[in-house]
Structure 1
Amino acid sequence: MDRRASTDEAEIDQIWPVKPLDTASRVKLDGWNPPKYSVIDRNGTGSDGRRISLLANHFKVNINVPDAVFYQYTVDVLQDDKSVRGKRICRKIIDKLYKIYHSDLGDRRFAYDGERTLYTVGPLPQEKLNFTVELEEVFVGCERMDNESSRGLSKRPKWSFSKHFKVGIVYAVSIPLKSIAVALRGAEAENNALRVLDVLLRQQAANRGCLVVRQSFFHNNSTNIVDVGGGVNCVRGFFSSFRPTQGGLSLNMDVSTTLILNPGPVIDFLMTNQNVKEARYIDWEKAKKMLKNMRVNATHRNMEFKIIGLSDKPCNQQYFQMKPRNCNSVINAQTVDITVSEYFSEYCGIKLTFSSFFPCLDVGKPKRPIYLPIELCSLVPLHRYTKTISPMQRVSLIERSRQKPPERMQVIEDALKNCCYGADPVFVDCGISIDDKFTPVEGRVLESPKLKVGNNNDCIPHNGRWNFNQKTFLKPIDIDRWVIVNFSARCDTSRLSRDLIDCGRNKGMKIECPLALIEEDPQQRREGPCTRVEKMLELIRLKYPRAPEFILCALPERKISDIYGPWKKKCLSEFGVVTQCISPLKISNQYLSNLLLKINSKLGGINSLLAIELSSSIPIITDAPTMILGMDVSHGSPGRSDVPSISAVVGSCYWPHISRYRASMRTQSPKLETIDALYKPVLSGEDDGIMRELLQDFYRSSNYCKPKQIIVFRDGVSNTQFNQVLDIELVQIVKAYKHLGETDIPKFTVIVAQKNHHTKLFQANAPENVPPGTVVDTQIVHPKNYDFYMCTHAGMHGTSRPTHYHVLIDEIGFSVDNLQNLINSLSYVNQRSTSAISIVAPIYYAHLAAKQMAQFIKLEDNMSETSSGGITCDGKVPVPELPRLHQVVESSMFFC
């Protein structure tokens, strides 16, 4: 699509009328009963491609006592008649209980989840049991340093436990081990026995002192821990979970990594995290955000606390009220004001040094603070780090996590041996044994699709890659009016423009000399990013009342710059100009060639097309107007529940082509995975949802054809959310289609793509990664549902992770081979690269669009810590509207 073309709403209305619905019609549509969609079964396996012998990291599970029964019990742990919560303390209590009362439990070993559920193989002697447990470890309390002491009460904090605990165990339900056979027939509802087995895995890891993160386990072993900078370490562990497959029950084991804090003094962590040499240079506002919710050990008491914030004043100025130790009267006790420094000096015998002048750590509650000097606190070992990491930390994490296939296989084998699952007493009781050999699997390697580039030349990918150096774009765009703006003091823009023009000529693009090279005033570099952007655009407006077609922007820093978000927002939503940002430290001929791939796509050009796409011979797709959707949701950083999520959907244009897309985005409630704005009726009776925009653009660009077939690729949902995709999202798409006045409903094929899984494929007779196009649809797949694994990219570093595709419905009626070849081909249409990607391009584009819009409005930076002041009466955080794109660029591939 040419960048100069814009959506003519009047033209659309004439051919595809969009009349606002009256109240009665809207109520009728909202109350309309849509078709009931359900997940389909597998309809066979594919046959295309050459055969290849593979190994999968699934280990066969044998059940030698199929008649065994798990008995589930509800556990209540009480202290002073109040429930005790916390997996670590509860596990210690139950472990001690078994040591003392194992005979009363019939010597039955159990699996305990650390909360309220316990499983045994066979019943306990009684259905209801009560015990009293006394821990040898005593948690020592301390005086409460808060305003509650003003009432003359000397209290122990709620987190301080006494020695004695009451434990009640009550029978709940029995779970036959043979119910696994039902799961192996594909019944999702009958997987309670599998959950019991996964609890067993978690318990065993917890008993070995591992950090347990769902089904991943990390041991505090120095050989597995690597520093990634900023006081954060990468720790390598393993993932372990039971899976029902076509070949029977298997144990899926894989290498897993997570981030932990470097244990030690809190002050040392802050200095490392902020890269300062002395504590007096610490930025305490940043420290407050960083430390929130971290757990520390108070060395003077050997107790663990969670940080909720920092004190307003330093230790030697922060007062609290307390009752003097020599006052015995409770009712008429007089309180005194004392500083934190004085308290520790007089009552604890601890003379504070440097921390007297620093804020205290607040480990209490919002209205009942408890202050601890920072020099007495250390971060606990194996403390998981869940906050946003910097670009450099991310690069370091990726580097440290990579493992070549042979190394990864060896690590998995060693982990399986070290776990000693065969010696676990509960596994022994139910007759479960696990093979130690990787599962052999037969895969197929699909042929790479042929590409067409400029001058009708063929481009044949080799090992998932193709060379564009001696080739021109299929449809190059000429650039007449463009501007270079420079926020960097290190970028030579005059040389940049010459090199870009020369490189464009080699790709078939005619690029005129830029209208201007606009340098930022050095004095403005001290101002905020929004101000810098506004002043730069004001210069362009003054010089050129008629906006340029394109702006090339040199950012001041590598990776993500503070300029990026405000710049994109102004250019795409207000200025209406396509823009490309560059990093001044990486300019080279290859860099410029890759840059032109993005620029040409953003301006409406086409770099390459599939040969079958150019000849309109894609099976099924060319038979009827077919629209392809890619859907994704981007969430805020971990721990930020106040940051709205961004849903992004891209839709194909210019049928029968499948390489051109436009995007539509909306904000939605934080952490909500289901897209709720696909259909969005407003008071006027119109539809302001995502699908209306995409359907109209498809109609306008596809020679006024309405889609009769819609293929939906959905990313980011788990197996338990499949029905939500069909019952909520698919129904919204249908309603949006009917809102346009249509009575016939298109045929749908809905496919979920998962990257967040732990199945790996290895070549049986070679140390390299599996070749691009490798597909597996037998043995390790679901026993009943229609799924398969496909690895479409060339894994150059580490071990390739295949994408797990689940076909939820297929009304269109693809054959297995046609669908797998289509998915393989859609991994080659990414216009911004010259290599096949690991997931279909529509999903990749949706991810890029959501990610860019998150930067686009800088949600996380603009929403302050006090945003709770805007919470509505029902307790929900109000979701701000996403600024809409300017009509000049809304149909462009701005996200490339």
Structure 2
Amino acid sequence: MLPPLPSPPQRPMGTPGHGVLTTRQKQNRTLMQRKGLGTRGLLVNLITNHFRVNIPAYKLDDYFYQYSVTAAREDGSTVEGIGGGLGRKIIKKLVQTYGAELNGRKVIFDGEHTLFTVGSLPNNNNSFTVVLEDLLPFSSSSRRYGDNDHDPQQDLKRAKRSAKSQMFNVEITFSTKIPMGLIANATNTHSHHQQDDALRVLNIILRQHADMYYDPCLLVRQSFFVNTNQNFNDVGGGVQACRGFSSSFHTTQSGLSLNYDVSTTVVIKAQSVLKFLEESDIVKSHDRIDWAKAERVLRHLRIKVATSQLEFKICGLSEKPCKEQLFAMKFKRGDEVQTRAVTVYDYFKKQHHIATDKSASLPCINVGKSNRPIYYPVQLCELLPLQRYKKALSSNQRSVLVDKTRQKPQDRKDVLERPSTIEGYNMDPVLNACGVSIDPHLTQVQGRLLSAPKLIVGCEQRLIPRDGRWNFMHKKLRRPVDMQRWAVVNFNAYHNSRWFCEGLIRSGRDKGLNIAPIYRIFEEDACMRNEPPGVRVEKICKKIEGTYSFDERPRFLLCFLPEKKNCNLYGPWKRKCLMDWGIITQCLAPGRVNDQYFTNLLLKINAKFGGINSELDLEDGIKIPLISRCPTMILGMDVSHGSPGQVDVPSIAAVASSREWPLMSRYRASVKTQPSKVEMIDSLCKPTETGDDGIIRKLLIDFRRTCENNRRPENIIIFRDGVSESQFNQVLNIELDQIIKACKLLDNDEAWNPKFMVIVAQKNHHTRFFVPNSPENVSPGTIIDKNICHPQNNDFYLCAHKGILGTSRPVHYHVLLDEIGFSPDELQELVHSLSYVYQRSSTAVSLVAPICYAHLAAAQVAQILKSDHSAESSSSNVEVPSFNGEVSASMFFC
């Protein structure tokens, strides 16, 4: 074992290398430009879901003029948040009324506070009076039906009589102008910000087009969803998968293009509120209702009331059931107005002749405000269509969602090739005013098919993956490990666990693993099945602790869980094993067991124990360009966030780093929590009085301990996942600065300046590739770096995996920085090869393995925190519990 590294000498805060950025760190880095195109690989012709866009030359001298918009009512009160439905109505009416005063300009409204025109308005400051004829005097959230101070029947009559005009004073003030010519001249390396602004205007036109031509229409960023039956698929729990389309303009090497693709979101099923509650398991019976949960789910959803056909937004629920909830009903007796207390149930039964017996014992829906409630019986309320469901889906819902929304390549291509789509855009009056015309045919591009890298398995046997796959039949693992002390824990999950273990031992010996006979199987008592997860885990752990002495405890525990995914025992069990005991564990919930199942399980176990299942032939000797020559560290970085509806759950930053240079197949991970929904990692370097307590320092020390001759990395390659293009500069100038600072603080050697490469991997995009005249997906190893890539920046698309179900989604790699000096071919070969070192499977993965490992580590820690009682009570300030030293450097996440 290598001797421990000496502690860095203390130096005063503020000296170089102790929290102060050097000149190299202070520079404001910009994205690197493309150095060239790759040439290796077999040329292949493909088509993509991009449509070429043409703008005539005479239009390139035009400008988009940007204006800010404010609106005030007749009494002078400002319209708070002009965005949304009211804002669009005001602008639409303004254009209809004052078309001549606007010089016939086509208006583009972003739905918020900004308006664009093609050509300028007559004046820089414009004032208009807009009259809307069809607005009720009350907002949808405060109409007085069922109000404590009003008679619902009288209020309804008053509302109908008051369906009169409302007047708004609209101010439109000039802000700036944006040249349209920058869009066409995409290869120009200057004025990127203005080019992005012009693209933003064009993309707003696409959103406006969808909102104008489809009613109702749900807009989600650049995707739109229409309320037609064929677009919906039930996924259970009262929610549906809704199919729509995504459309956006992009500048590419070939000029401007329209990216058009199928998109999916999850929406609330349009049905009665009561039916929705029943389907979502909130209402099991009228005497067993979790109304606190029901209120959380229903709050802010929009409904339509059967008696009036009016629409409202749900504010909450009444404290009492419908037959007991009172409100003050006004009535006239002679010339005197009197009030009397009436229940909501009696009112609707008498005034509207509606029997609300079904919801008499249920709370009412409140569509008013907390201090001025407006109640309706649940029975009369229908949920409106196209309302996004923002809560977390269950594992079964996610499985159904994937199954019902996937499309084979040919089916997806047929949908995208429908001529009506592009015809609609070509007929749009605003796009016509911009001179935009779109070619209705999918764009042809040229890609290259990279050869799969050679792999080495046991007994120095070399193999070449076919179609992104290989197998271990009649083969040994590259570096198998011994399993001498191990036991089994069975949470009432698998009734034939001893037979399973015997099959695992036989399969392991075939693969070269020396697995000792099973020592003992710990069965959970049947009476514990209904106990809380933490109690069940603690109970069986006491059995284990009562059986072994501390020195004789098993090194590995195989754990049978009762559920395949999201089992609530997983978190507390992993916490106990990895953080308290320091014991490697593998959880499973067997379904159909065969030799392939045993093989996949053994791959995970061997990797966790420090073994290697297969490695690249490039790793055997000095064959990897620029990496084998000097110590190179590879990092995969990702941040995992809670579900969309969870705002008090911490985000989890995970970094996986390579070890045992010159290998690229061995990794370890370090994980930290950070504030909820924060994407930039803030704990890469955390200077203290005595050094650094950040993520990177631990990984640098580990790399040095496992590197030949105890050397520090001279090259550091960073793969970052989960960031958008708007955050690229933050990765370069915030996260990279932290990493450089961590290097300086390692042992305060100013002469050590490793070179960096930063690459961002994106899967959240809508570019797809198809093989002409073939129903199959593109082949593994397909790479595209021309035609539809960025005109200046260094990016490429890679589809490294074999797409079996649905249409393959390529990974979009953006090279932000390269101080090492890779050629395009060397870099693309490296990224492709890193898709083949994922130790959990015998297939190439779509993302490079370091990022996959960071995903796994973050997901596992998220489950541990979820099960921790302190995580539920202290919101987003939870710290990740320390991993036991026995497992902290292992691939526990495999």
Using structure 2 for the length normalisation, give the TM-score.
0.92
Counterpart for residue 873 of structure 1: none
> Which residue, out of 21, 32, 36, partners 1:40?
32
CA distance in 1, matches of 2:623, 2:492: 48
Does structure 1 conserve the Cα–Cα contact (< 8 Å) formed by 2:150 and 2:330?
no
- The CA distance in 1 between the partners of 2:676 and 2:638, in whole Å, is 14
Distance 1:748 1:368, change over 3 A: farther
Compare 749-758 and 110-119 and name the one that shifted more: 110-119
Cα RMSD of the aligned pairs, angstroms, is 2.8
CA drift at 1:167: 4.2
Match of 2:136 in 1: 138
The alpha carbon displacement at 1:326 in A equals 4.8
Quote the Cα distance in structure 1 between the aligned partners of 2:813 and 2:103. Answer: 47
Residue 808, structure 1, aligned to residue 816, structure 2: yes
The letter for the 2-side match of 1:388 is: A
> What one-letter code is carried by the residue in structure 1 that aligns with 2:42?
R
**1:110-259 alignment runs, 5 A limit:** 110-127=107-124, 128-138=126-136, 142-143=143-144, 163-172=165-174, 173-181=176-184, 183-186=186-189, 187-190=191-194, 191-207=196-212, 208-209=214-215, 210-259=217-266
Q: In structure 1, what is the Cα distance between the partners aligned to 2:821 and 2:38?
A: 14
| In 2, Cα distance between equivalents of 1:615 and 1:177 | 54
Distance 1:31 1:777 in 2: 36
Q: Give the whole-Å Cα distance in 1 for the aligned partners of 2:593 and 2:733.
A: 49
Give the secondary structure class of the aligned counterpart of 2:521.
Answer: strand
- Given candidates 651, 655, 658, the residue that maps to 2:661 is 655
Provide the C-alpha distance between the structure 2 equivalents of 1:337 and 1:535, rounded to a whole number of angstroms: 56
Q: Tell me, what secondary structure is at the counterpart of 2:89?
A: helix
Structure 1 pair 861/308, CA: closer, same or farther in 2 (3 Å)?
farther
Q: Compute the displacement of 1:335 (Å).
A: 8.2
Of stretches 442-451 and 335-344 in structure 1, the one that deviates more from structure 2 is 335-344
Instruction: Kindly state the Cα deviation for residue 359 of structure 1 after the two structures are TM-superposed.
Output: 2.4
Task: Tell me the equivalent position of 1:885.
Answer: 883
Contact 1:565-1:855 within 8 A present in 2 as well: yes
1:415/1:347 CA distance change after superposition, 3 Å: farther
Q: Structure 2 residue aligned with 1:290, among 294, 297, 300?
A: 297
CA-to-aligned-CA distance 1:485-514 (integer Å, 9 cap, x gap): 111254311111111111111111111122
Instruction: Give, in whole Å, the separation in 1 of the partners of 2:598 and 2:282.
Output: 34
- 8 Å CA contact retained: 1:636, 1:860: no
Paired letter, 1:606: I
Distance in 2 separating the partners of 1:783 and 1:122: 27
Q: Is the 2:186–2:256 contact (alpha carbons within 8 Å) kept by the matching residues of 1?
A: no
Superposition map of 1:857-876 within 5 A: 857-858=865-866
2:516 match: secondary structure: coil
Structure 1 stretch displaced more, 590-599 or 168-177: 168-177
Query: Quick one: which amino acid aligns to residue 204 of structure 2?
Result: V
Structure 2: segments with no counterpart, 5+ residues: none
- Structure 1 counterpart of 2:790, from 782, 802, 809: 782
- State yes or no: 1:71 paired with 2:77: no
User: Aligned equivalents of 1:647 and 1:21: distance in 2?
Assistant: 29
Question: Hey, what's the Cα distance between the residues in 1 that align with 2:333 and 2:110?
Answer: 46
- State the identity as a percent: 47
Distance in 1, matches of 2:405 and 2:10, equals 54
Which residue number corresponds to residue 803 of structure 2? 795
Post-superposition shift, 1:430?
1.9
Q: For residues 652 and 380 of structure 1, what CA distance do their matches in structure 2 show?
A: 51
CA shift in 2, pair 1:765/1:626, >3 Å: same
Amino acid at match of 1:54: L
Question: Relative to structure 1, is the Cα distance of residues 291 and 513 closer, same or farther in structure 2, using a 3 angstrom cutoff?
Answer: farther
Q: Given the alignment of the two structures, is residue 61 of structure 1 paired with residue 53 of structure 2, yes or no? A: yes
Task: Give the letter aligned to residue 485 of structure 2.
Answer: R
Whether 1:384 aligns to 2:381 is no
Query: How far apart are residue 217 of structure 1 and its match?
Result: 1.1
2:638 touches 2:855 (CA, 8 Å); kept in 1? yes
TM-score (norm 1): 0.92
Note the C-alpha offset of 1:319.
5.0
- For 2:465, give the aligned amino acid: P
Q: Residue in 1 aligned with 2:101?
A: 104
Would the alpha carbon gap of residues 471 and 31 (structure 1) be closer, same or farther in structure 2, given more than 3 Å must change?
A: closer
Deviates more, 1:405-414 or 1:170-179: 170-179
Q: Would the alpha carbon gap of residues 699 and 858 (structure 1) be closer, same or farther in structure 2, given more than 3 Å must change?
A: same
Residues 632 and 715, structure 1, Cα contact 8 Å, conserved in 2: yes
Deviates more, 1:125-134 or 1:513-522: 125-134
- Within a 5 Å distance, the mapping from 1:154-553 to structure 2 comes to 163-172=165-174, 173-181=176-184, 183-186=186-189, 187-190=191-194, 191-207=196-212, 208-209=214-215, 210-274=217-281, 280-319=287-326, 322=328, 324-326=330-332, 339-342=343-346, 344=348, 351-365=355-369, 369-414=373-418, 417=421, 420-546=424-550, 547-553=553-559
- Shift of the 340–888 alpha-carbon distance from structure 1 to 2, 3 Å rule, reads farther
1:448-488 Cα offsets, whole Å, 9 max, x none, are 00110111111210010001122111111111111101112
Measure, in 2, the Cα distance between the counterparts of 1:188 and 1:764: 34
User: Which residue number in structure 2 is paired with residue 874 of structure 1?
Assistant: none
Measured after TM superposition, the shift of residue 97 of structure 1 is: 3.2
Match of 1:677 among 683, 707, 721: 683
C-alpha distance in 1, partners of 2:868/2:211? 35
Distance 1:495 1:367 in 2: 65
Compared CA separation, residues 259 and 482, structure 1 to 2 (3 A): same
Task: State the alpha-carbon separation in 2 of the partners of residues 556 and 311 from structure 1.
Answer: 39
Instruction: Name the SS of the counterpart of 1:96 in structure 2.
Output: helix
Give per-residue Cα distances to partners, 1:110-148, cap 9 Å, x unaligned: 222222222222233444031222232536664376789
Given that 2:146 and 2:376 are in contact with CA atoms closer than 8 Å, whether structure 1 keeps it comes out as no
In structure 2, the CA distance between the partners of 1:308 and 1:696, relative to structure 1 (3 Å rule), is: farther
Name the structure 2 match of 1:848: 856
Q: Following the alignment from structure 1 to structure 2, what is the Cα–Cα distance between the partners of residues 806 and 161?
A: 55
- Please list the CA deviations of residues 762-817 of structure 1 after superposition, one character each: whole Å capped at 9, or x if unmatched: 12343321111111111111111111111101111111111111111100111111
Candidates 83, 88, 91, aligned match of 1:91: 88
Could you list the per-position Cα deviations for residues 547-578 of structure 1 after superposition, in whole angstroms to 9, with x for gaps in the alignment? 21011110012322111111111111112111
Cα distance in 2 for partners of 1:180, 1:161 equals 46
Matched residue type, 2:522: I
Q: Is the 8 A contact 1:613 1:657 kept in 2?
A: yes
Please give the per-residue CA displacement for 1:178-211, whole angstroms capped at 9, x wherever unaligned: 1324554244311222111111100110112221
User: What is residue 817 of structure 1 aligned with on the other side?
Assistant: 825
Query: Is the partner of 1:264 in helix, strand or coil?
Result: coil
Between 613-622 and 704-713, the greater mean CA deviation after superposition:
613-622
Kept in 1, the 8 Å contact 2:489–2:557? The answer is yes
Equivalent in 570, 578, 582 of residue 564 of structure 1: 570
